[in-house]
Structure 1
Amino acid sequence: MKVLSVLRVGFLALATLIGAVTMASAADGSIRIRIVKAGFVVGGSGGDGVLTFQGRQYPLAVGGVSYGFTFGASETWFHGKVRNIRKASDVAGVYAQGGAGAALGKGAQVVVLTNQNGAVLELSGEQKGLIVSLDLSGLALSLK
């Protein structure tokens, strides 16, 4: 019985250590992306960007689709942080968002998004154009 208790404690200590090492290996990077969005009911978006991670720059492709009430067109330049990534490819994936907004001329945007890899984007930027939206949208990032 005592052997089982010692094994259980040892196993829990090992699991804790592995978890701590895994958490410690996650890093942050910075990101700049440009998104062009247009639509009438169904909207589409595309763009490009750059991820800076561990001293290297990685070009990004941006795509997406939205459904709901969308009317108009806009261009948004985002910049910010990417958190909780271990390698550059962790930023690739789909980031879902629901929201409402409007821009006439210039407008500010702030957003926090998470993908299936656990990458967290903390972005702020400026939107230009004429667009009104109340929609569900998905933003897809991929490395070029």
Structure 2
Amino acid sequence: MRLSSAIRAMLIALTATVAFGTAVCADGGRIRFNVVKAGFVIGGSGGSGTLLFHGRYYPLVIGGVSYGFTFGASATDFFGTVSNIRWPSDVNGVYVAAGAGAAAGPGGGAILLTNQNGAVLTVSGRQVGLIVAADLNGLVITIR
């Protein structure tokens, strides 16, 4: 189905207005959390952390599930920024990532995650443990 040029122009203008309005009102903060992951095919993860937003610290609870080829256990300390949030509660939500990797002893990496509220986590981490994984991960972050 073809859209008329007037409707197409309206949709583009509406999209730009919404995106611009979101960017103008959005803010950011710092985030730090640790995750312990273990599994054999189906894996589980859990942890805790802290969100620093407008000079105030908010405790975080982390939980997750992974499915795919997973074998072993690891612990990772993540630190970085969170952006595109208006309220601390915008960090609450489900973050999904697909990945593959292996770690034996210390290692590191960086990831970019987004949730359903539009919060964007840009984090890097230090990992320790013995794990081999090619899986789909779901991470749930909740403010306590």
Can you give the 5+ residue segments of structure 1 that lack an aligned partner in the other structure? Answer: 1-15
* 3-state secondary structure, aligned to 1:90: helix
Corresponding residue for 2:91? 91
CA deviation profile, 1:60-81 (whole Å, cap 9, x unmatched): 0000000000000000000000
State the identity as a percent: 59
- Output aligned runs, 1:97-116, within 5 Å: 97-116=97-116
Corresponding residue for 1:62? 62
- The question of 1:129 aligning with 2:116 is answered no
- Aligned residue identity for 1:53: F
- Aligned residue identity for 1:78: F
- Aligned residue identity for 1:71: F
Corresponding residue for 2:9? none
- The question of 1:80 aligning with 2:80 is answered yes
| Counterpart Cα distance in 2 of 1:39 and 1:22 | 39
Shift in alpha-carbon separation, 1:112–1:20, aligned structure 2, 3 A:
closer
Corresponding residue for 1:119? 119
| Counterpart Cα distance in 1 of 2:18 and 2:108 | 41
* 3-state secondary structure, aligned to 2:89: helix
| Counterpart Cα distance in 2 of 1:52 and 1:70 | 32
| Counterpart Cα distance in 1 of 2:40 and 2:115 | 26
Q: CA deviation at 1:85?
A: 0.2
| Counterpart Cα distance in 2 of 1:48 and 1:73 | 17
- The question of 1:32 aligning with 2:32 is answered yes
| Counterpart Cα distance in 1 of 2:116 and 2:18 | 21
Question: Which runs of at least 4 in structure 1 moved beyond 3 Å after TM superposition?
Answer: 16-22
| Counterpart Cα distance in 2 of 1:89 and 1:51 | 10
Aligned length: 131
- Aligned residue identity for 1:134: A
Corresponding residue for 2:140? 140
Quick check: which has more Rg, 1 or 2? 1
Q: Structure 2-normalised TM-score?
A: 0.86
| Counterpart Cα distance in 2 of 1:127 and 1:97 | 17
Shift in alpha-carbon separation, 1:21–1:38, aligned structure 2, 3 A:
same
Corresponding residue for 1:53? 53
Q: CA deviation at 1:18?
A: 7.8
